[in-house]
Amino acid sequence: MSIKYTPEPFRIKMVEMIKMTTPQERLQKIKDANFNLFSLASEDVYIDLLTDSGTGAMSHEQWSAMFVGDEAYAGGRSYRKLLKAGTDVFGYDYIQPVHQGRAAEKILMPLLLGKGKFAISNMHFDTTRAHVILSGGRPIDNIVPEGKKPNIRSKFKGNMDITRLEELIEEKGAENIGVIIQTITNNSAGGQPVSMKNMREVYEIGQKHNITVCIDAARFAENAYFIKRDEEEFKNWSIPDIVKKTFSYGDVFTMSAKKDFNVNMGGMLAVKDKSVNAALIQNIKASCINFEGFYTYGGLSGRDLEAMAVGIYQYMEEDYLAYRIGQMEYLAARLDAAGVVYQSPVGGHGVYIDAKAMFPHIPYKEFPGQVLAVELYKEAGIRSCDIGSYMIGNDPDTNEQIESEFEFTRLAIPRQVYTQSHFDVMADALIAIKERASEIKRGYKIKWEPPILRHFQAELEPIE
């Protein structure tokens, strides 16, 4: 059976040469990096799937827009251009540019949370979880049961569990829930989409209990594509109309624009209703000035604001999104043929390999997701990352290692960067590792780790 690759809706205008390395060289490089993929030099990586954040190839329209950036400290025209675009696309009254998504979280979470408060999410990703904890709150993940089962093919596996959400609010007390967070797509669960129906139900619960609903919106366009494709009610809607409807089911949103705006740097924090949330907006402005820069540039150059204002429209194009999702489906089809288990069906921005299924004999405390990530680098120079117990870290109260719902190795695909041949290298490497998986007996232990977001810096060593 032939496996079809979705053709690119663009042509290549500029290339960057990348270095090939030998297995012996890669083994030494990963040892020198203390078996942490983040510590590798980028020139020692052949295919870089560490993240899809800020690593895409921008369009010539974005590059040309950067030449007219207004670098004024306050009130620049590039800010006003982005403000107009953001208001047009999302329908929110207040748009605050920031340098990336975690900056939006750094500003917002202390304004909504504190000691004794909880944040409930369909799943918190790493920086969101960290900022909830740093603000004094505690994160609770609440994904639908089918989302926890990689081998079950089901639509909208990123959804919030509605029944459990109501139970959690009753259990903790509505007054103690600082925020409900809908992450679209659901990154920690494999880039799985969230349905419009689920967005609506969660927002109605938030309104009923007077709880702020925040959309973590980094991959809003990919999520809209899944809604159009798989939710009958919206099959004849345009992507921009689906996006605007989606954002109507939130009070605020945080966003890393480095994903679905396809810029190298940028983000947003937005508030829907300025008449209701005037105090919140003033506090956002004050925090932005303290931490990011004046609120009309938010830690960004004018040229970055210009690239964002173009990307906000450009990457909602349906042909582009079909190609984008099609890349994941091509890799997934090759893995299906070889019996490699992943979070299925594939999500929007990557393929999440089930490392627990690959290495059932390696316990979570030895980080099977990190084991597979290291083996991928050794096998083919591919850099990926653990989305599992290694990433989730220790309980902030007991300091005990948390067992993650998943032990994934994430292959995050940069936008408009890699070709079909690169995807074949990815598939071949995974198939080769699967064939020798039983020979890999043990995982890794941590030699040193920082107190939070440890996976970015920790030093590991193999367990002999």
Which residues are the active-site residues?
A: 73, 125-126, 216, 218, 259, 455
- The phi and psi torsions of 184 (rounded to 5 degrees) equal -125, 125
Tokens of 176: 């103690």
What distances in angstroms separate CA 368 from CA 103, 192, 351, 364, 458, one per listed residue?
30, 21, 16, 6, 16
Q: How far apart are CA 140 and CA 121, in angstroms?
A: 6
- Annotate 189-220 with b (16+ C-beta within 10 A) or e (fewer): bbbbbbbbebbebbbebbeebebbbbbbbbbb
Q: Sign of the CA dihedral 376, 406, 261, 178?
A: negative
151: Cβ–Cβ under 8 A, 6 or more apart, which residues?
Answer: 341, 344, 354, 357
Distance between first and last Cα of the chain = 42
DSSP code of residue 394: B
Neighbouring CB atoms inside 10 A of 162's CB total 16
Q: How far apart are CA 50 and CA 27, in angstroms?
A: 18
Do 190 and 200 contact (CB within 8 A), yes or no? no
Give the residue among 304, 300, 322, 335 at the shortest CA–CA distance from 429: 335
Do 114 and 94 contact (CB within 8 A), yes or no? no
228-234: Cβ within 8 A, 24+ apart: 228/318, 230/155, 230/156, 230/193, 230/195, 231/156, 231/195, 231/196, 231/197, 233/196, 234/196
Tokens of 153: 């093919």
Q: How far apart are CA 298 and CA 319, in angstroms?
A: 32
Q: How far apart are CA 442 and CA 406, in angstroms?
A: 18
Characterize the bridge pairing of strands 267-271 and 94-98.
antiparallel
- Annotate 345-356 with b (16+ C-beta within 10 A) or e (fewer): bbbbbbbbbbbb
